[in-house]
Amino acid sequence: MGLFDRFRRKPRPGVLRTASSQDTSHLEQWAASRQGVEAYVEPKTTVTETTVVLVAHDGEWTRRRVASPDAARTFARKLGMPIYDAGIVGYPKRMRDYTARKKAAGES
């Protein structure tokens, strides 16, 4: 540890950012403004904490961190949406199609 390391304002490299209330708020607002939303839980990796991907009926999607797989299931039950384990069932084709359409249109 260097002499001035404790005064750094940026998080240290290799420290994972955890889920925040802003993440949950974003997911709630996003789901409320779209139809046919389903949730897909992604497991924790060495790079990111557990995340949940919400996919709307047209394939539009968003991803945010959640505290745990159980927190993701609780979130989905609260909003009355189906939830799947992305590592087992994969992602829906409509999500991949949506991303391909956006990429072809020059959007990111």
Could you tell me if residue 73 is inside a domain?
Answer: yes
**Predicted local confidence at residue 7, as pLDDT:** 60
Could you tell me if residue 25 is inside a domain?
Answer: no
Could you tell me if residue 62 is inside a domain?
Answer: yes
DSSP state of 5: G
Could you tell me if residue 5 is inside a domain?
Answer: no
The pTM for the full model equals 0.80
Q: Domain range spanning residue 99? A: 37-105
- Cα distances (Å, whole numbers) of residue 26 to 11, 32, 51, 70, 101: 23, 10, 13, 18, 24
pLDDT digits (tens, 9 = 90+) for 31-87: 999 999 999 999 998 888 899 999 999 999 999 999 999 999 999 999 999 999 999
Could you tell me if residue 3 is inside a domain?
Answer: no
Contact 48, 56 (CB under 8 A): no
Could you tell me if residue 97 is inside a domain?
Answer: yes
**How many domains are contained in the chain?**
1
Could you tell me if residue 21 is inside a domain?
Answer: no
Could you tell me if residue 26 is inside a domain?
Answer: no
